[in-house]
Structure 1
Amino acid sequence: MKSSIMERDERYKMIEQLEQEIKDIEASDVYKAEASFKGDIDKVLKDHNKEPKDLLTIYPSLVQPTKEQAPAKAKGRTLPTKTYRNPHTGDEVEAKSTRHKTLQQWKKDYPDDDLDEWIIKP
């Protein structure tokens, strides 16, 4: 178990590391360019008595589509429903694949039969 003094010292080290990371970011050319750009936009907005949300009404394409607005992703290929009739019992089953529980049981019960021949409605 750590002492509270050790925990405090670790926290101070973490603070120092974060402060150094912030200084490194602020010293980068990328950050300086972005900060300058943001400052220019803020100045233009202030000169025209506008707010950042007003930009979104002028440029709606800046808004990321929400989950409701985003087009629905196409799900995987959908299989057609087929109707199978067991010629031994007369039972019918609707299934999208031969992985259906009843069809699997029929395969076990009648291993020599081909289930594709049992399809009555493709």
Structure 2
Amino acid sequence: MAEQLQALEALKGDAGFKKEIEFETKLRALLAEYGYSLPNVINLLDPQASRRAPAADSRTGTRKPRQVKVYKNPHTGEVVETKGGNHKTLKAWKAEHGSASVES
């Protein structure tokens, strides 16, 4: 805790830090005077910034669920509903009757 206080005191005496604080204070006062916020300024300086940030978030979401497909055995009339092609019965039908026959 004492080390943190010493570091803070050292920063308060730093001329560069004082200039940064002064700049930020003046900038915020100017923005308030004209009714702007920091996001408004960022959008003015870099209009693409707001479009780039959400794009990364949307890609991390879940993907669209697969559509259920219905297959009917052309010889027995049996029906199989599946979301993928890795279905045991469907594979057996394709091996027995051919993929083109089962897919149609």
Query: How would you bin the TM-score normalised by the shorter chain?
Result: 0.3 to 0.5
Q: TM-score, normalised by structure 2?
A: 0.43
Q: TM-score, normalised by structure 1?
A: 0.40
The structure in which a higher percent of residues are helix is 2
Which structure has more relative contact order (CA 8 Å, sep 6+)? It is 1
